[in-house]
Amino acid sequence: QVQVVESGGGLVQAGGSLRLSCAASGRAFMIYAMGWFRQAPGEEREFVAAITWSGGNTYYADFVKGRFAISRDNAKNTVYLQMNSLKPEDTGVYYCAQDRFPRGGTRSRPVDYDYWGQGTQVTVSS
């Protein structure tokens, strides 16, 4: 059974940084693309960033380009989201997810991911 577990959320002031981690187990981590999504209260879940199975390609939502960076360590079965220059509008629950198909590209639709973590809360104060 696949398990996806996020960590690293918290409360930070605007302009600050956080690094989220996501550990996945249960199937060959190194052949699946991974993605980060977020959901603010009353809003739909939205795409943040994705990384291919090899780590060779990344894809970002426009609103995080230049501020966030996704990376992965296949030896540790872990994907990271480095978040810099945080804004209050970045507040939300951040979810990590594993692509539905092996060796896929970077996808931005939630339906393209089949295993999700429980989420980690990120709160950015002004």
pLDDT in tens, 78-125: 999 999 999 999 999 999 999 999 998 899 999 999 999 999 999 999
Q: Looking at residue 104, what is its pLDDT?
A: 85
Q: Looking at residue 10, what is its pLDDT?
A: 97
3-state secondary structure of 64: helix
Question: Residue with structure tokens 């996808």?
Answer: 107
3-state secondary structure of 111: helix
CA distance 83 to 96: 14
Mean pLDDT of the chain: 96
Distances (CA, A) of 30 to 11, 20, 34, 120: 31, 19, 10, 23
CA distance 48 to 64: 7
Q: What is the pLDDT of residues 20-69, one digit of tens each?
A: 999 999 899 999 999 999 999 999 999 999 999 999 999 999 999 999 99
Six token digits for residue 61: 């939502």
Contact 59, 52 (CB under 8 A): no
Q: Looking at residue 113, what is its pLDDT?
A: 97
